[in-house]
Amino acid sequence: MTRLIALFALFLAVPVAAQSQLPPAPYAYRQLEDPAQEAKAQDLMETLRCLTCQSQSIADSDADIAGDMRNQVRTRIKAGEEPEEIRRWLVERYGDYISYKPELTTLTWPLFAAPLFLALLAVLLLRRRFVRRKGEG
């Protein structure tokens, strides 16, 4: 029975070991030669969320997927793409959640409108309360 459990554990560990043996993408940890292009890439990477870490940008994350995304950003910047084109491509691929700079769309407008609505409601309630108190005093 012990051998069966050990064999099962080894069977599960093989895919994990195989994935960690992959070499990192060329630009995952290496900067672009052109400082202007690297600055564009860095600015963009700081506004993209790591899908694994979720609280870090891909510029700060050590996760494998963040390295792959950094490689994609740098490769595309080097090829001459603009940062906003790359952002749109990544949002299409991974969804709105990936961007720390959400766009106003038909799906996201309630997120932008809700704070304004709540602030307006608070002002109206406070105004009504203070107007009523003035009349009493």
pLDDT digits (tens, 9 = 90+) for 3-49: 777 766 666 655 555 455 556 678 888 899 999 999 999 999 999 99
Q: What is the mean pLDDT of residues 42-68?
A: 91
Give residues with Cβ within 8 angstroms of 102, minimum separation 6: 96, 108, 111
pLDDT band, very low/low/confident/very high, at 78 (cuts 50, 70, 90): very high
Q: What is the pLDDT of residue 125?
A: 93
Residue 67 has pLDDT above 80, yes or no: yes
pLDDT band, very low/low/confident/very high, at 113 (cuts 50, 70, 90): confident
pLDDT band, very low/low/confident/very high, at 134 (cuts 50, 70, 90): low
Report if pTM > 0.85: no
Domain 2-103, CATH number (from 1.10.8.640, 3.90.1150.10, 2.30.42.10, 3.30.465.10): 1.10.8.640
Q: What is the mean pLDDT of residues 75-100?
A: 92
70-79, 102-111, 113-122: the lowest-pLDDT one:
102-111
Q: What is the pLDDT of residue 20?
A: 54
The mean pLDDT value of the chain amounts to 84
* CA 97/CA 110 separation, integer angstroms: 15
How far is residue 1 CA from its own chain's centroid?
45
Q: Specify the DSSP element, H or E, that contains 118.
A: helix 109-136
